[in-house]
Structure 1
Amino acid sequence: MYSQTEYNLIEISPKLARQQLSRHANSSTLHGNARIINQSILDWDKHESRPCFVVAMEVIDNLAHDVVRYDYQTDTPYQALVHVFDDGEFEEIYEQVYDPLIREYLATRALAAKKYRSPALSSRLYRKLRSQMPLAPNMTQAEFVPTHAFRFIQVLGKHFPRHRIVLSDFYKLPDTVPNAVSAPVVQTRFDGNMVPCTTYLVQPGWFDIFFPTDFELLLQMYNHMCRAGASAALGPARVCSQREFARKYAELANTATRSGENPMLDFYENNKFLLS
């Protein structure tokens, strides 16, 4: 099975793709059916009708999100735009949702997760009382919506109809941007230490930005988009914790330390898996 399997490694970075291609060309031990493809999975346009596995480990935490806030009275969503001033300062500007990807994501979320309600939307009674207070805001706190993880699922459903997925990522993170739903960690290195920031409005290229994933919502979106119609016969996906995954699939005797600890069970407690 190993010798007959095809491996397609999709690498968005040209530099890393060149390094992998160089290693592949200069090694006699690498798999003959392995291909390195320098492309974003979000731009994938080739149809694969054969059964396959899609393995995505810590991929979606780096995919771009959009920021929305909701009107306190009507629940109407507004999208954030970032205005960059001549001196390099940033300012958020909100307008009605015109971006087609945000609109499609919100519409699909409403269909796939009918009972889901954004944590940014507190109870109507609270919002009504809050709106009557002096200097009350007219919009809720921000929500970072995973529009490009949504695009990733669209690609899987459209071009890999018989796929099964093994996806793992963070479902919670420390030191996230405060006062926002599904907010990212934004950090940079200073004097050898990683320093978290309190805003995502930072200079591009100098900061690491990564997001937690709501796996229960992701599961509903995935089943709605990738396990409907002809693909329904493959069965619904499921979510499990890192510990549950390791207990079922890992060779734990090979990962235990001399002290008796097992990193596969004791670490990565903020990870979950989506499996189909």
Structure 2
Amino acid sequence: MLVRDFIDDSLYNPQYGFYSKNNTSALSEYEEMEQEEDQIQYLRRVVKSRGRVHHHHIHQLRYTLTELFKPWYGHAIAKYMVSEYKLSLYPHKDLIIYEMGGGNGRLMPHILDYIKRYEPSVYKRTQYNMIELSERVVSPSFMGNMPQHDCVQVLNENIFDWNTLVSEQCFFLGMEVINHFAHDVIRYDLDQLKPHQGYVCVDEKRNYHEVFEPIGTDSTISRYLALRKKIGSKPHHTQHMLWHKIQRFFKPSSSNLTQPEYIPTKLFQFMEILNTYFPRHRLVLTDFNSLSNTVPGVNAPLVQTAYKGLMVPCPTYLLPPGWYDIVFPVNFDMLRDMYLLTCRGSTAGNEKNAKIVQYNDFLDRYGDVEKSRTKKGTPLSLMHQSNVKVFLT
């Protein structure tokens, strides 16, 4: 199967996918702590005990920013949406929110709690829709939050199967979601510089291997490469062609293909869905623009598996499905250009209403960082993540 289908199956297969399993136990010790000071000290102990994990990459411990910095992270998102909503829609239109990949509903209560407390008139006009492909979203722990907010609707549907037109203006949220979107792998042959698309095959011993063939059989890969060409982005192999030729000269038996390049084809499909079914959306995405311990290749992912509460890096994604997580860094410049051409029909880089903001700057403006202190008065300095960005439209 194509690489993106293999990754998708590994992560989301309802029987054995990594995200179809119950992953809440890893958070139990953290969530039982009542005082924020205890939470911060706990995280510091975990980092110290596994010294190779730097605090700037604490997401490798499998905690999301939502869970680490509750409720301030959700409050910042809510404050941004309310301020933008009031500029053009309030009080004549509802505040309609769609959240993709809401997991166990950990972000939603913080957003709605903020609106209900500080913007009660806006809260009366708020609709919150959670799009979640996993059955875990309707777990008892999630349902316990539901009576507090009657404006919530759970849509247990895969966003890539979405076929309902939403004509109203709305905010569409994706918090640490798109870095889990599957990618395809392409490599270029050194003779004719033609791209080849990757497949994953399994042998009789159940070992996984990559094979490549010229592109053309998959329309998504072809459309993405055509869009990238329209953007004017040069394929990565052209920047290192001399190195490839030198390597082949000294090692004639080496591969006739360039190093693997991971291309965001599922993210491209998501943009097409936004354009088709959510034509009046405002997008809010946060994710990591760089990762450590990635596998070899261009725009390559971090592959990791859970071991004694720690996410341990793996050298390849060619592993038995369901036993590992796979996380891709997000190229936000490419994301912006792809978004503008797909969803706005404008020339890449010419629209000011698609912004890339440093996560730290977003928090400084909307996050009330000064209020987000532990019970002993210590600032939550861990909230600042230098390798996280926010995409706003």
Q: Give me the TM-score of the superposition, normalised by structure 2.
A: 0.63
* Identity value in percent: 36
Residue-by-residue CA offset, 1:51-81 (whole Å, 9 max, x unaligned): 1100110111111111111122332110111
2:219 alignment partner, one of 86, 89, 100: 100
Aligned-residue offset at 1:237: 0.6
Checking the alignment, whether the CA contact within 8 Å between 1:66 and 1:144 is kept in structure 2 is yes
Residue-by-residue CA offset, 1:82-113 (whole Å, 9 max, x unaligned): 110121101111101121111111111211x2
2:312 is equivalent to residue 195 of structure 1 = yes
Aligned-residue offset at 1:228: 2.2
Instruction: Return closer, same or farther for 1:16/1:144 CA change in 2, 3 Å cut-off.
Output: same
The residue that corresponds to 1:22 in the other structure is 143
1:250 alignment partner, one of 359, 364, 367: 367
2:334 is equivalent to residue 217 of structure 1 = yes
2:196 is equivalent to residue 78 of structure 1 = yes
Q: Give me the TM-score of the superposition, normalised by structure 1.
A: 0.88
Instruction: Return closer, same or farther for 1:15/1:123 CA change in 2, 3 Å cut-off.
Output: closer
Measure the CA separation in 1 of the matches of 2:142 and 2:174.
20
Higher strand share: 1
Which letter maps to 1:12?
L
Residue-by-residue CA offset, 1:23-61 (whole Å, 9 max, x unaligned): 366x2x22x221000001111111111111001101111
The residue that corresponds to 1:241 in the other structure is 358
Checking the alignment, whether the CA contact within 8 Å between 1:17 and 1:37 is kept in structure 2 is no
Instruction: Return closer, same or farther for 1:24/1:246 CA change in 2, 3 Å cut-off.
Output: closer
SS class of match (1:45): coil
Which letter maps to 2:195?
P
Extract unaligned runs of 5+ from structure 2. 1-121
The residue that corresponds to 1:3 in the other structure is 124
Higher helix share: 2
Measure the CA separation in 2 of the matches of 1:72 and 1:51.
48
Worse overlay, 244-253 or 5-14:
244-253
Instruction: Return closer, same or farther for 1:244/1:73 CA change in 2, 3 Å cut-off.
Output: farther
Checking the alignment, whether the CA contact within 8 Å between 2:186 and 2:260 is kept in structure 1 is yes
Measure the CA separation in 1 of the matches of 2:196 and 2:142.
44
Checking the alignment, whether the CA contact within 8 Å between 1:256 and 1:263 is kept in structure 2 is no
- How much is the aligned-residue C-alpha RMSD, in angstroms? 2.1
Residue-by-residue CA offset, 1:112-150 (whole Å, 9 max, x unaligned): x21x12334334444444443332431110011111111
2:149 is equivalent to residue 149 of structure 1 = no
Extract unaligned runs of 5+ from structure 1. none
The residue that corresponds to 1:45 in the other structure is 163
